[in-house]
């Protein structure tokens, strides 16, 4: 059975990816590296849920512990609308580096399951990092299994987050409420 490194953004997104890779005869080793997730309690909830999930299904997990709020903000503050590019690059680089250093035949990522992420950009960045670190990027379009994986995650009681992870996506999530409050209270204080 081939073993690959599976970068995991969270446990719910991992469910379908792991199941489908195992159906192909590929045994994934989960890899946690997500310095983009904030605040700390959200980071911890996602990391711990993935740890418990991996253990429950007998999947090895490598944790690269790095709560990176300050570094994240430094890298994205000058161009918040395009923050995802840095976010994808830093995580795919670390996944490629880890796969290369630990002798995996390839790596892939659960980011490829989300219909809300920039799929083609993630794949392109992963290919670039694979070439940089001399390891194969295993491309899979996991998106057709997104709803199925989410349903199974709910069924087994996994923590289900409400935003991609960064503080700016959390703000985006509440944009309508923020605007209603501005309208109600007369805008930002000066």
Q: For the chain (length 190 residues), average pLDDT per consecutive 10?
A: 89 98 97 94 96 98 93 84 87 98 97 95 98 98 97 96 76 73 72
Residue 9 marked as a ligand binder: yes
Residue whose structure tokens are 């580096």: 97
Please give the CATH superfamily to which domain 2-185 belongs: HUPs (3.40.50.620)
Residue 84 marked as a ligand binder: yes
Residues 6+ apart with CB under 8 A from 114: 9, 13, 143, 146, 164
Residue 87 marked as a ligand binder: yes
Does this model's pTM top 0.85? My answer is yes
Cα–Cα dist 16/122, whole Å:
18
Cα–Cα dist 22/64, whole Å:
23
Residue 98 marked as a ligand binder: no
Domain boundaries, the chain: 2-185
Count Cα neighbours of 126 within 13 Å in the Cβ-side half-sphere: 23
């Amino acid at each position: 059975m081939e073993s690959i490194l599976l970068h995991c953004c969270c446990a719910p997104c991992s469910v379908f990816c792991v199941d489908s890779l195992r159906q192909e005869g590929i045994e994934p080793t989960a890899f946690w590296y997500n310095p983009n997730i904030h605040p700390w309690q959200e980071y911890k909830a996602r990391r711990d849920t993935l740890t418990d999930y991996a253990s429950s299904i007998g999947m090895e997990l490598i944790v690269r512990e790095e709560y990176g709020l300050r570094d994240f903000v430094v890298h994205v503050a000058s161009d918040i609308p395009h923050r995802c590019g840095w976010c994808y690059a830093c995580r795919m680089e670390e996944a490629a580096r880890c796969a290369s250093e630990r002798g995996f035949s390839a790596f892939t990522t659960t980011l490829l399951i989300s219909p809300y992420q920039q799929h083609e950009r993630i794949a392109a960045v992963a290919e670039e990092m694979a070439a940089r670190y001399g390891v194969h990027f295993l491309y899979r379009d996991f998106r057709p299994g997104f709803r199925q994986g989410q349903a199974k995650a709910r069924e087994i009681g996994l923590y289900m987050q409400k935003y991609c992870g960064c503080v700016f996506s959390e703000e985006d999530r509440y944009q309508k409420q923020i605007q209603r409050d501005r309208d109600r209270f007369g805008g930002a204080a000066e």
